[in-house]
Structure 1
Amino acid sequence: MTAPPRIAVIGGGPAGLMCARVLQGHGFQPVVYDADAAVDARDPGGTLDLHADSGQIALEDAGLMAAFRTLARVEGQAKSRRDHHGTVLNEFVPAEGDEAAPEIDRGLLRTMLYEHLEPGTVRWGHKLLAATPVGGAVHRLEFANGAHAEADLVIGADGAWSAVRRVLTDAVPQYLGVQFFDARFDDVDTRHPEVAAIVGEGHMFSTDGAGRAVIVQRNSNGVVRGYVAFRAELDWHVAAGVDVTDREAVRSHLLKEFGEWSAIMRPLLTENDGDYVQRSFWALPAPLTWDHVPGLTLIGDAAHLMAPFGGHGTNLALLDGAELAHAIAKEDSLDDAVARYEAAMFPRSGQLAGSSNTALTRFFATTSPDAPHLPPDHAQEHEDYRTRAAEYRRLRAERDR
């Protein structure tokens, strides 16, 4: 590359910020555009685990493992499984020194990445409307606030409903048939000791084998996030006559829907602080590929939105960002860099997206209630992360010689 390329990253989530961080480490000056007004302008969601074979590799590449460890919760790797009567079916406590998948709040991760970028890298309040080719591989970017820019490479890191993806493929997210209410419990150990006892140090999953589940997760600062999930049509609340903005109406509905759940589990449904937030699960077709378009590519959810089972989404997003940045630094042209990145990303994300979507469907199945709900072997899962991390590093070292 004989001149510094103009690189525009659309989206200031983990994928986009990681890509920008690693690009800056290679001497590039990307610009990140994000629709949010600021890094903390909205609720970023709950906690996530960063895997040794993906998210942690990206953090190492970005020089951010030390910063991550000051925020992460190793104890948050603990997991338990209960039936809907509260009986413990399975427990996992990480061994001493096990750091295969520590937890970190989504908001803390995003802020950490943002604070390690050069000042002025992110342009907040820039919602992309269109990316239009203007010759060669250059695209003109038009934003909702009236701003515009041109870029030699546009990296779509703009999530599930990506505007950049529309230029590359007609694929759109499909509803997976599962709704959930996101709730939170504040100062949980003092104000909600019964919830604290159930969730423990990490996660608790519970299902009744009839398409209903409750998942609660420890976050930082004494907060637990809870997810009350069930199979339903998108407009279920209309047919049920439930105003989803009315906390008491939602509680009443959940008590009826989860009527067979025991008194031990009921506080997870009804004792939350604040309102319920209605959400739903969506995924892109998997595997998803597209024909190459000069000057454009996708990372993160824009490329491979998937069900959250397995926790692969953000981990792949971070790895996408780092790998694309490395490819840009190593290849002779942006086109070659994108080709190198996509050749690795397509099969990796396709396999994990397919397995994650299948796992969610099976978990919420209303038939064959036994086998689909068996918990994974988390100790083996952690060992697999470490094994794959070593193999990834070995292959990358061979490739980069």
Structure 2
Amino acid sequence: MASVVPAQARISIIGAGPAGLTCARILQQRGLAVTVYDRDPGPDARNQGGTLDLREDNGQIALREAGLLKEFFRLARPEGQEMRQMDPAGTITFHHMPDADELLKPEIDRGQLRDLLLDSLHPQTVHWGHALKEISGPADGPRLLHFTDGTSIETDLVIGADGAFSRVRPAISAAVPAYTGVSFLEAWFNDVDNRHPDLADLVGQGGAHAADGERALFAQRNSGDHIRVYIIQRLPVDWISRNGLTAADTDGIRTLLLKEFADWSPRLRRLITDNDGPYVDRPIFALPVPHTWEHNPTVTLLGDAAHLMPPLGVGVNLAMLDASELAVALATSATVAEAIAAYEASMLPRSTEMAKILEGAAGDLLSADGPDSGDDAQR
């Protein structure tokens, strides 16, 4: 079957995260029709996560292409670029305070970014409550999307923007994410200026990191007077159940953590003890390096579905750059197949290079030198 002209193609994006929505926005800006399918029952079904830094050399490029850069800067927090590095005694060993006009990588809450992108799309672009089960049909199309509710939809192009455990990826790659050996445990702090003023002062307006080589704490200020803390350790992926606990056993988990951080300063230990609500277990996975696949004229991947890496400041930025380049390629190519080939010729080498740099780097988060004491670490 001959590849379809993009202007006539039925384009389906799986996943309504920042990457999928960025791709949809730019496609619509370029006059192409697109539908986004997401497994959540609606846009407010779950918390969208913490804060993101969007960098001028990738994430901001995508937002400029989407025509949303000015709106982003109105929402972003340049003060969130502040970074503090501490030792386990709570002594600051490095402190970056951004200049008043510094816009290298301003912060924005993930939920705010998602809402900005959602509100920019045509009505009914996103079809909620559509969890993909599998893809069938010949490689040259058309493809059939099978959803878990028993419905199916025919399409000419499937774009997998559905994250680490993508349901689109098996259509072109047998690769699966592997556990890195490093686990995050997320803790939330609300109304921090009133309820946790000492911790608000400790963290500042951006991020604060402390580590001793074996364990680490990373705290991030979010908008709305919130702080998220990530407790980082090398542990088996099932460390909670191995200790006879469940994720809901906040007191039991806290007792284990306090033993591990027994030698740390009481002030830093409050980032473990004073959280509002339960912890959230977030083991860190990554795809094999390099992760590539043979060209397929009807399926491609972007973001974590294509190149899941340790969380060192590049994930959402590379994903949004992927989305921008794919959308522009579709708008400027004669066929869908040509667009995919042009996009992957740029994306795969770029992502492979970065994945090689970050391979095994999840352990850098435990380093006493910190993952971001200088900006080169996250570049």
Give the TM bin, normalised by the shorter chain: over 0.9
Give, as a single letter, the amino acid of the residue that structure 2 aligns with 1:247: T
For the residues of structure 2 that align with 1:34 and 1:375, how far apart are their CA atoms?
33
> Structure 1 residues 111 and 308 mapped into 2: Cα distance closer, same or farther (>3 Å)?
same
Matched residue, 1:364: 366
For the residues of structure 2 that align with 1:3 and 1:262, how far apart are their CA atoms?
60
Matched, 1:319 2:321: yes
TM-score by length of 1: 0.90
For the residues of structure 1 that align with 2:208 and 2:17, how far apart are their CA atoms?
27
Which residues of 2 match residues 1-400 of structure 1 at below 5 A? Answer: 1=5, 4-134=8-138, 136-209=140-213, 211-309=214-312, 311-364=313-366, 373=370, 375-378=372-375
Large movers: runs of 4+ above 6 Å: none
For the residues of structure 1 that align with 2:100 and 2:193, how far apart are their CA atoms?
24
Q: Could you tell me how far 1:178 is from its partner in structure 2?
A: 1.1
Q: Could you tell me how far 1:112 is from its partner in structure 2?
A: 1.0
Counterpart of 1:119 in 2: which secondary structure?
coil
For the residues of structure 2 that align with 1:81 and 1:297, how far apart are their CA atoms?
39
> Structure 1 residues 135 and 319 mapped into 2: Cα distance closer, same or farther (>3 Å)?
closer
For the residues of structure 1 that align with 2:23 and 2:7, how far apart are their CA atoms?
20
Q: Could you tell me how far 1:65 is from its partner in structure 2?
A: 0.8
Give, as a single letter, the amino acid of the residue that structure 2 aligns with 1:245: A
Task: Give the RMSD, CA atoms, in angstroms.
Answer: 1.7
For the residues of structure 1 that align with 2:178 and 2:339, how far apart are their CA atoms?
30
Matched residue, 1:393: none
Q: Could you tell me how far 1:103 is from its partner in structure 2?
A: 0.2
For the residues of structure 1 that align with 2:220 and 2:363, how far apart are their CA atoms?
21
For the residues of structure 1 that align with 2:216 and 2:351, how far apart are their CA atoms?
26
Counterpart of 2:121 in 1: which secondary structure?
coil
CA contact (8 A) 2:136 2:143 kept: yes
CA contact (8 A) 1:287 1:347 kept: no
TM-score by length of 2: 0.95
Give the unaligned 5+ runs of structure 1. 385-401
Counterpart of 1:275 in 2: which secondary structure?
coil
Which range moves more in the overlay, 31-40 or 239-248? 239-248
Counterpart of 1:137 in 2: which secondary structure?
coil
Give, as a single letter, the amino acid of the residue that structure 1 aligns with 2:118: Y
CA contact (8 A) 2:130 2:147 kept: yes
> Structure 1 residues 334 and 250 mapped into 2: Cα distance closer, same or farther (>3 Å)?
same
Q: Deviations over 1:12-51 (max 9, x none)?
A: 1111100000000111110000001111211111101000
Matched residue, 1:392: none
> Structure 1 residues 100 and 282 mapped into 2: Cα distance closer, same or farther (>3 Å)?
same
> Structure 1 residues 135 and 238 mapped into 2: Cα distance closer, same or farther (>3 Å)?
closer
Q: Could you tell me how far 1:323 is from its partner in structure 2?
A: 0.6
Give the unaligned 5+ runs of structure 2. none
Q: Deviations over 1:139-177 (max 9, x none)?
A: 011111222111111101111111110011110001000
For the residues of structure 2 that align with 1:15 and 1:224, how far apart are their CA atoms?
24
Q: Deviations over 1:322-343 (max 9, x none)?
A: 1100000111111110000001
Give, as a single letter, the amino acid of the residue that structure 1 aligns with 2:154: E
Q: Could you tell me how far 1:376 is from its partner in structure 2?
A: 3.4
CA contact (8 A) 1:194 1:267 kept: no
Identity percentage of aligned residues: 46
For the residues of structure 2 that align with 1:3 and 1:52, how far apart are their CA atoms?
30
